[in-house]
Amino acid sequence: MERSRYTRENEMYIVDDYFVEKIRELPTKLGLDIAKQIDRETEYLPEQEDWSQRVAGVSNVLNGPYFFLVEYIKQEGDKPVFLDCDLIESDEYLDYYELVLPKVRGGGFILADNVLWGGKILEKQGEADHFTRGIIAFNSRIKEDERVEQLILPVRDGIMVIRKK
């Protein structure tokens, strides 16, 4: 199976057994897409001594967007060791914004993808699916947040440019 090349030790990184099991639990296309994204990003991962770090991403290979969080450890000069992979629920989108914002310096930017979600955000709240309700809540919260300025670029499913004051 093609996935096997991403679930063994690789020249760029080492994969923990628990991480392999988490990837195998995912639908094949999603697991492969997440593994390929990790493969492309490993050389850019930051190095901090004795520190477990998390990287978030999104995959659209199946019917809806799947946000994911990957946990890894990387010490200076060592290969990263990937420990865990979790899918992020749409209602956690806002949680990650609140987690990241304090770490952004004044004048810094956060880019949020899929904020228009094919126009689904215009649906009535009761008719919207779980993901759409999460995006609507995220957009509303950012609009009311006095710590930031925001602008939505209507490119594809929308990108919100958020600038910390």
| CATH, residue 100 | 3.40.50.150
Whichever domain contains 64, its CATH number is: 3.30.2310
pLDDT tens-digit readout, 50-101: 777 878 777 888 876 677 888 888 877 778 888 888 777 666 778 778 877 8
Whether residues 23 and 94 fall in one domain: no
Domain that holds residue 104: 90-164
Whether residues 77 and 107 fall in one domain: no
Whether residues 123 and 74 fall in one domain: no
List, in sequence order, every residue forming a beta bridge with 165; answer none if it has no partner: none
The secondary structure of residue 91, as a DSSP letter, is G
Whether residues 76 and 97 fall in one domain: no
Question: Domains in the chain: how many in total?
Answer: 2
Q: Does the model's pTM come out above 0.85?
A: no
Residues 6+ apart with CB under 8 A from 76: 47, 49
